Amino acid sequence: MFTLKRKGDFRLQLTRTLKKPGRYSIELYLFTPHETNFAGWTLTEQQFYFSSLLHRFGLLGLPAQERASKEDSSFALLSPHYEITYGSWLFRYKASMDRLRQQLQATGAANAETIARALRLSETYAQRLRRTVPEQSGQQRYFRQMDIYFSWYAEQFLLECMTLEGYQELDGDLRESVEEFLLEEYRIRKEREYLADFHGKPTRIWNRMSLYHRLLEYPVLLRAKLTELGSGTRKLVKAATTTLIMALFTYVLFNARSASHLSVTLLLGIALIYGIRDLLRDDLISMVTRWLRRGRPRWKSRLLMPYTNQLMANQMIWLDYYKLSDLPREVLERSGKWANEERHIICYRTHLHVDKDALEQNEIQERMNLDCEQLCELIEPTRNRLFAVADEADPFSAIEAHAIEKQHDYNLLLVLTEPDRPYSRAQRWRLRLGSNGIVECENKKLDWPTPEEQQQQPWHKRLVTRLWRH
């Protein structure tokens, strides 16, 4: 299952770990509210895909491989193996810490077990990272950036824990261990001359660490080679349209010539029709092409190993704007009050086939980023205010004016199928958007059929569902 977290004011990130080879399918439905004016002419499907969706995959390594590598580090002497291996270690550590952060944020209070686990993870990773220092200059630069980023990231996590409610009531030994770890990190920074990277205004430090993060993740991100499908169909439609129009006008000209009716008026009429054809040709070709390719994937992505370009996985991608009647039966029956026949439903589907060899040396982290900035721009700001008395005991002593922000509620539904599981699972969130970004993101319960209920469905319903997902 996916975990969801906010990334800034406008972005959401869905993450999970792929551990088995085989076929994974995702269906992401974004139900737009009745109040919005979202439509195909305000934001096309292609614009939404390239501006609001980012689907990436990264290497996480294997826990068993990591334990073995502690005993023998000779394999990591050559690039790019060094960068790939140490980068995957960092992002496995970061993924574990992000899960712990979500647990703390869900309760809003300090939890001794969660903080102790975060401290153990940080101490273990620090020992692994700093066990050996590389000798090559390129690897030394990568090691330095990773050491600085880890030190900053671990510090930020633990300092955030100190601000949580109930932290001072935790066990004294745990709080002392946290402080000792932070003091040790300060000592290492001074000893290795890292202090310059931690000095400056908060915004400058944050941007510097964000840059280090992008540089560190580059060696472990799978390279996506995206190919747009349907170019052949579009060429055939264009050729057929031109052939049909030319045949029609040739027929008209020959008939007019034989009847001696070839006149200036006829020529002007033909020229006018040609002008209208050129004006509407692109829209006509696009409309016919989309009709012919309805239900077929729009893009194909080949995911390649960094540096070696080894094929790791193939991905087929769909993106369509649906009406309520276009939804599959399982989704339609459970859409309830979120859907509206008059509104569009954004449907993003992918079929990912992970090669068996791809998971022999690594687990793969899948990340989907949804940028809601384009949707927030569709919300018109308002200047309405709500007036209320400040003190009920003396109602008219002071009057308060509260600004009203216009908000839209979107429903996000995620349907998943995984290898060796002949049934689907689903997750649902409610997104509340304002003109300035995401206001609230709430996990909602969903009455999705259990695996047993899906297996007990009539054969024809199972067949329709399987055909839709394939």
Does residue 109 sit in the same domain as residue 132?
A: yes
Q: Identify whether 138 is part of a domain.
A: yes
Nearest residue to 160 via CA among 183, 182, 131, 186: 182
260 has a pLDDT exceeding 80: no
Least confident piece of the model among 99-108, 394-403, 442-451: 394-403
- Please, is 1 exposed, middle or buried when counting C-beta atoms within 10 Å of its C-beta (0-12, 13-18, 19+)? exposed
pLDDT of residue 189: 93
- pLDDT tier, 371 (very low <50, low <70, confident <90, very high otherwise): very high
Dist. CA 293–CA 279, nearest whole Å: 23
- pLDDT tier, 282 (very low <50, low <70, confident <90, very high otherwise): confident
Segment 10-29 shows an average pLDDT of 91
Per-residue pLDDT of 81-106, as tens digits, reads 888 888 888 988 998 998 899 889 88
Taking residue 459's Cβ as centre, other Cβ atoms within 10 Å add up to 7
- Please, is 120 exposed, middle or buried when counting C-beta atoms within 10 Å of its C-beta (0-12, 13-18, 19+)? exposed
Least confident piece of the model among 35-49, 223-237, 240-254, 265-279: 265-279
80 has a pLDDT exceeding 70: yes
Question: Which residues, listed in sequence order, are joined to residue 259 by a DSSP beta bridge?
Answer: none
Q: Which percentage of the chain shows pLDDT scores above 70?
A: 90
- Please, is 258 exposed, middle or buried when counting C-beta atoms within 10 Å of its C-beta (0-12, 13-18, 19+)? exposed
Q: Identify whether 388 is part of a domain.
A: no
Name the residue with higher pLDDT: 339 or 445. 445
Dist. CA 124–CA 178, nearest whole Å: 14
180: containing domain: 81-199
Dist. CA 315–CA 318, nearest whole Å: 10
pLDDT of residue 464: 64
Segment 213-217 shows an average pLDDT of 92
DSSP-assigned letters across all residues of 3-30? EEEEETTTEEEEEEEE-S-EEEEEEEEE
Least confident piece of the model among 60-74, 82-96, 262-276, 345-359: 60-74
Q: Identify whether 395 is part of a domain.
A: no
Segment 11-28 shows an average pLDDT of 91
Nearest residue to 298 via CA among 347, 227, 225: 227
Q: Which among 287, 313, 329 is the end of a domain?
A: 287
pLDDT of residue 468: 61
pLDDT of residue 181: 94
As a whole number, the mean pLDDT across the chain is 84
pLDDT of residue 469: 62
Name the residue with higher pLDDT: 419 or 453. 419
Q: Identify whether 208 is part of a domain.
A: no
Q: Which among 271, 287, 303 is the end of a domain?
A: 287
- pLDDT tier, 178 (very low <50, low <70, confident <90, very high otherwise): very high
**With helix as H, strand as E and coil as C, how does 375-443 read?**
HHCCCCCCCCEEEEECCCCCCCCCEEEEECCCEEEEEEEEEEECCCCCCCEEEEEEEEEECCEEEEEEE
Dist. CA 417–CA 309, nearest whole Å: 28
pLDDT of residue 71: 45
Place of tokens 């992002």: 91
Q: Identify whether 209 is part of a domain.
A: no
pLDDT of residue 257: 62
Per-residue pLDDT of 30-70, as tens digits, reads 998 887 778 777 888 888 999 999 999 988 876 645 444 44
DSSP secondary structure code for residue 340 in this structure: -
Q: Identify whether 70 is part of a domain.
A: no
Is the Cβ–Cβ distance between 85 and 403 less than 8 Å? no
pLDDT of residue 24: 92
* Domains contained in the chain, number: 3
Dist. CA 75–CA 132, nearest whole Å: 13
Strands 385-389 vs 11-18: parallel, antiparallel or unpaired: unpaired
- Ramachandran region, residue 116 (left: φ > 0; alpha: ψ -120 to 50; beta: rest): alpha
- pLDDT tier, 460 (very low <50, low <70, confident <90, very high otherwise): low
Does residue 305 sit in the same domain as residue 279?
A: no
Does residue 465 sit in the same domain as residue 331?
A: yes
**With helix as H, strand as E and coil as C, how does 214-272 read?**
HHHHHHHECEEEEEECCHHHHHHHHHHHHHHHHHHHHHHHHHHHHCCCCCHHHHHHHHH
Does residue 265 sit in the same domain as residue 175?
A: no
Q: Identify whether 460 is part of a domain.
A: yes
Does residue 468 sit in the same domain as residue 376?
A: yes
Does residue 342 sit in the same domain as residue 365?
A: yes
Does residue 237 sit in the same domain as residue 101?
A: no
pLDDT of residue 301: 94
Predicted TM-score (pTM) of the model is: 0.81
pLDDT of residue 72: 47
Segment 212-237 shows an average pLDDT of 89
Is the Cβ–Cβ distance between 181 and 119 less than 8 Å? yes
Q: Which long-range contacts (CB under 8 A, 24 or more apart) does 398-407 make?
A: 405/434, 405/435, 405/436, 405/439, 406/379, 406/380, 406/381, 406/382, 406/434, 406/435, 407/379, 407/432, 407/433, 407/434, 407/439
Segment 118-128 shows an average pLDDT of 93
The side-by-side arrangement of strands in the sheet containing 299-304 is 223-228, 299-304, 311-322, 345-354, 22-31, 407-417, 425-434, 437-444
210-228: b or e for each residue (b if 16 or more CB lie within 10 Å)? eebbeebbebbbbeeeeee
pLDDT of residue 307: 82
Does residue 260 sit in the same domain as residue 300?
A: no
What SS3 class is residue 31?
strand
DSSP secondary structure code for residue 109 in this structure: B
Does residue 50 sit in the same domain as residue 170?
A: no
Does residue 446 sit in the same domain as residue 298?
A: yes
Give the highest mean pLDDT range of 39-53, 258-272, 373-387, 425-439: 425-439
Q: Identify whether 222 is part of a domain.
A: no
Is the Cβ–Cβ distance between 193 and 249 less than 8 Å? no
Longest dimension (CA), the chain: 106
Helices (H) and strands (E) in the chain, counts: 13, 14
Segment 15-25 shows an average pLDDT of 90
pLDDT of residue 299: 92
Dist. CA 449–CA 336, nearest whole Å: 15
Question: Which residues, listed in sequence order, are joined to residue 412 by a DSSP beta bridge?
Answer: 30, 429
Does residue 352 sit in the same domain as residue 375?
A: yes
Does residue 337 sit in the same domain as residue 360?
A: yes
Q: Which percentage of the chain shows pLDDT scores above 90?
A: 34
Least confident piece of the model among 146-150, 345-349, 400-404: 400-404
Q: Which among 176, 199, 222 is the end of a domain?
A: 199
165 has a pLDDT exceeding 70: yes
Segment 301-318 shows an average pLDDT of 90
418 has a pLDDT exceeding 60: yes
pLDDT of residue 370: 94
